[in-house]
Amino acid sequence: SSKRSLSFNTCSHACRCNDSFSVATIERLPLGPITILGHGSIGRMFSQLLGDRAVVCSRSTGNWDDRHSITGTVINCTSFGTSVYSSPFNTLPNVSCVVDLAIRDNELKNQCHTTATKYVAGIEFYRCQFKYQFELYTGIALTSEEINSI
């Protein structure tokens, strides 16, 4: 795979996702429509990586209410489930998969469990991001086992 990196501005540092991570994440998404919830830095990153495969629902784009009628896969890039326990949905729409970038248990995870909807926790994204940035800034390559033990 290519060693080229894609750069995205997040907060005060650059979020970099190497192609192998980006491709692996996107290849794991089921075929069909993809909706990205949130248009902050991570939402914009996924939007750029997915291109025409995805639509963004956010307050800033003026289509936040459209999230209730989506199908396919959802990538939750909002603060719902991170800063608050609540879900971006009152009732989970008829979706096949939820990629939730929150790293703690939350209502969205419970909604997926209750409806038998596939749920992918955000911890995997953040572990990969940590691994990449740690090596970038220290020159030390960590194994997945080392990261999982932290």
Q: What is the pLDDT of residue 142?
A: 92
Please identify which residue in the block is written with the tokens 């220290």. Answer: 138
**And the tokens for 26?**
């996107």
Pseudo-torsion of CA 32, 116, 107, 49, nearest 10°? -20
User: In one letter, which amino acid is 26?
Assistant: I
Give 138's pLDDT tier (boundaries 50, 70, 90). Answer: very high
Q: What is the pLDDT of residue 24?
A: 54
Q: What is the pLDDT of residue 30?
A: 75
Q: Is the pLDDT of residue 15 over 70?
A: no
Beta bridge partners of 7: 16
**CB neighbour list of residue 135: distance below 8 Å, 6 or more residues apart:** 141, 142
Mean pLDDT of the 65-94 span: 92
Q: Is the pLDDT of residue 58 over 50?
A: yes
Q: What is the pLDDT of residue 13?
A: 33
Prediction pTM value: 0.77
Q: How far apart are CA 27 and CA 109, in angstroms?
A: 22
Of 26 and 131, more confident: 131
Which of 9, 7, 122 lies closest to 76, judged by CA? 122
Q: Residue 26 class from Cβ within 10 Å (0-12 exposed, 13-18 middle, 19+ buried)?
A: middle
Q: Is the pLDDT of residue 22 over 60?
A: no
**And the tokens for 148?**
């999982």
Q: How far apart are CA 67 and CA 89, in angstroms?
A: 8
Q: What is the pLDDT of residue 89?
A: 95
Q: Is 149 helix (H, G, I), strand (E, B) or coil?
A: coil
Please identify which residue in the block is written with the tokens 């991170």. Answer: 82
